[in-house]
Structure 1
Amino acid sequence: MFFMKLKLDMIKSEKSKMTKTSVEKRLQEKLVLDGAMGTELEKLGVKTNDLLWSANALINNQKSIYQVHADYFKAGADIAITDTYQANIAAFAKVGINHDQALDLIKKGVELAKQARDDFNPAGLVAGCVGPYGAYLANGAEYTGTYDLSFAEYQKFHQEKIKTLINAGSDLISVDTMPNFAEIKSVVKIINDLPNKIPYWISLSVKDENTLSDGTPLRDVIIWLGKQSGISGIGVNCTKIENITPIVSLMHHLTDLPIVVYPNPGDIYDPQTKTWTSVPHTDTFEQEVPRWLAEGANIIGGCCRTIPQDIEQITEIIKN
């Protein structure tokens, strides 16, 4: 029995390694990422202007989450990011959801994305989404990085959620909108220390084309990430389209990692009302995606305020 169990464990381990390797190979390809979750949920009547943001739908409108994922896969997306950016144990606790229920909701976020993937793009990937501690603060800190926690505090906040996303069957982890260099270092260690390895990317929240949101020179962050083992990609998201080209160029010159970009169109976020204000857009995906590809980006989608039609446009450019 011992040797039979050992053999089964070895087979499982080899299967896991092959799966990780196959996902990492796909992340080297030109792929289409999905677009905004919250924007589409709002259109479907989901409340998003509170501390849970789009994670509200995990509690009371799971069908709408499935619908948004389905719409993006139908628009051509190769990768869906789960509706778990703002879904964390501490935030759920504030609205009366206990620990085990919170983990079940995070797991459900993965299951909904997987179901939409299986229904509309079986070759697609599901990226379990991890948002920064700043998102939990619900005061716009994901765009400033103005918080200071110890590694133990970051571990307590992130580790169990990451494990849940992995155990629920995510193909990879998307660490989104990271504004704080100390938190970035902590999350990399947390993921790299897990026994069940999984591909993941780190996507940055930037102050401008040269600076992480917390003021750290972007060059320093990119060089550091490029030296770490285990990372499968580096990205930038939820900044205006105009910032992307110089950042992609900098990343391409400083690292060989796959480069992921998913900007917002340039609209303005108010952390007090938790709403967006539209502004005239000087650049479009149609204009900029070819430039991002030329500069070295290979995984491209949209963040807040983007819609399935934007993903259709990106798909048309990347796949033709």
Structure 2
Amino acid sequence: MKAPLLELLREKKLLVLDGAMATELEKAGVDTANELWSATALLDAPQKITNVHQNYFRAGADIAITNTYQATKQAFMKQGMSAAKSSELIKQAVFCAQKARNEYSENKNLLLAGSIGPYGAFLADGSEYTGNYNLSIKVFQDFHYPRMKALVEAGVDLFAIETQPNFIELEAITELLERKFPEMTAWIALSIKDSRHLCDGTSLEKVVKYLEQFENISAIGVNCTALENITPALKEIQPLTTKPLVVYPNNGDIYDPISKKWEINPQAKTFSDLVPTWISAGAKIIGGCCRTTPENIREITNVVTQSI
């Protein structure tokens, strides 16, 4: 089993992730205000996805996360597509990222991480911020398997299992990863209620100690949370794991999951202000989630470059 994330981390010491996909697609005219969210662009605007990846690589990202957070067999079939077409669309997301990487990979080692969003993202009601859904291990695995299979077949380097709010779902995915995709590795990024708890109330101590036992989990951290939550979460997680820490918060704006709209927060700090503190607290892989832009990733790249 190769661990491409760890190999690249040994080479570079600190890594930069990309930023938001939906925000950039919206700027390019894609209507994401629906249950498919950014995955809508897979239907009729794949070149716009490639363009977003290109802009993040230009900004200094070492890793692109595929536009598959909301792209699942079940979501596409709900829109009237076949299982085969659903798989095709998921693979298309990988091909978009590969096309972008091909422009830059001659002189730089770049990775593609296949995004695995939580079941809560499929519900499209903000459940990735609560974890308030209860399914069996088998149902979770039946949900996640088709997307994971399509991503592997399309050629991702690793999985980004992200915005995970539910401990039972995490158990299901990690077991699925180990059993069905033993050649693959992943990072796990948690959706947290506060610096000590997963959104469903499970203690981070319990979650991290559970994840620590899996060799094919290359990194652990948090994403899709407010900037100010990152340092406390890092201080909680860092003593509990030997794995590298990954963080990619939102840009500071405030999200209303009911209206699906964001409000600008003029009081938010900047990545330039905070990334040095995150590095001091143990972060090794740093990027942006909702509402972040290539300019934010450039900020992170500048700090990381100065820190190595």
TM-score between both structures, scaled by the size of structure 1: 0.92
Partner of 1:31: 15
2:60 corresponds to 1:96: no
Q: Residues of 1 paired with 2:34 and 2:229: CA distance? A: 28
Deviation at residue 118 of structure 1 after TM alignment: 1.3
Encode CA deviations 1:145-197: one digit per residue, 9 max, x unaligned.
Answer: 00000011011100121011111110110001000011011100001112551
Counterpart-to-counterpart distance in 1, 2:277 and 2:39: 33
Question: Are the equivalent residues in 1 in contact too, given 2:224–2:250 (CA < 8 A)?
Answer: yes
User: 2 CA distance for matches of 1:176 and 1:196?
Assistant: 19
The corresponding residue for 1:240 is 226
Task: Give yes or no for contact 1:35–1:301 (8 Å, CA) kept in 2.
Answer: yes
Could you tell me whether the CA contact under 8 Å between 2:3 and 2:218 is conserved in 1? no
Equivalence for 2:250: 264
Larger radius of gyration: 1
Mapped to 1, the partners of 2:267 and 2:97 lie a distance apart of: 30
Q: Provide the residue aligned with 1:41 in structure 2.
A: 25
In the alignment, does 2:300 pair up with 1:318? Answer: no
Q: Distance in 2 between matches of 1:62 and 1:316?
A: 29
Once the 2 structures are TM-superposed, how far is the Cα of residue 270 of structure 1 from its aligned partner?
1.9
**Which of 163, 169, 174 in structure 1 is aligned with 2:155?**
169
Report deviation, 1:294: 0.8
What number of residue pairs does the alignment pair up? 302
Quote how far apart the aligned CAs of 1:282 are.
Answer: 3.0
Letter in 1 for 2:174: V
Who is 1:208 aligned against? 194
Letter aligned with residue 55 of structure 1: A
Paired residues of 1:259 and 1:299 also in contact (CA < 8 A): yes
Please report the RMSD computed on the Cα atoms of aligned residues, expressed in angstroms: 1.2
Tell me how far apart the structure 2 counterparts of residues 163 and 225 of structure 1 sit (CA, whole Å).
22
Distance 1:137 1:226, change over 3 A: same
Aligned equivalent of 2:35: 51
CA contact (8 A) 1:58 1:109 kept: yes
1:276 aligns with 2:293: no
Q: Tell me how far apart the structure 2 counterparts of residues 21 and 215 of structure 1 sit (CA, whole Å).
A: 31
Q: Distance between the aligned counterparts of 2:274 and 2:57, measured in 1?
A: 22
Query: C-alpha displacement at 1:290, in angstroms?
Result: 0.5
d(CA) in 2 for partners of 1:113 and 1:201?
Answer: 18
Identity between Structure 1 and Structure 2 (%): 48
Letter in 2 for 1:217: S
Amino acid at match of 1:262: Y
Q: Which amino acid aligns with 1:266?
A: G
| Contact kept? 1:73, 1:121, Cα under 8 Å | no
- 1:307 counterpart residue number: 293
Counterpart of 1:117 (choices 81, 92, 101) is 101
CA–CA distance in structure 1, aligned partners of residues 111 and 155 of structure 2: 10
Q: Is the 8 A contact 1:206 1:239 kept in 2?
A: yes
Pick from 66, 69, 75 the counterpart of residue 59 of structure 2: 75
- Residue 128 of structure 2 is matched in structure 1 by 142
CA distance in 2, matches of 1:101, 1:265: 34
CA contact (8 A) 1:49 1:273 kept: no
Alpha-carbon deviations, 1:99-132, whole Å to 9, x = none? 1000000001011101101112441100000000
- Separation (CA, whole Å) in 1 of partners of 2:254 and 2:78: 27
Q: Give unpaired runs (5+ residues) of structure 2.
A: none
- Tell me, in whole angstroms, the C-alpha distance in 1 between the residues paired with 2:299 and 2:5: 24
Provide the C-alpha distance between the structure 1 equivalents of 2:15 and 2:105, rounded to a whole number of angstroms: 13
CA distance in structure 1 between the partners assigned to 2:57 and 2:105 by the alignment: 6
Contact 2:204-2:237 within 8 A present in 1 as well: no
Whether the 8 Å CA contact 1:27–1:232 is kept in 2: the answer is no
TM-score by length of 2: 0.95
1:185 counterpart residue number: 171
Distance 1:154-1:279 versus aligned 2 partners, 3 A rule = same
Measure, in 2, the Cα distance between the counterparts of 1:318 and 1:195. 32
What residue ranges of structure 1 are gaps of 5+ in the alignment? Answer: 1-16
Question: Deviation at 1:22?
Answer: 4.3
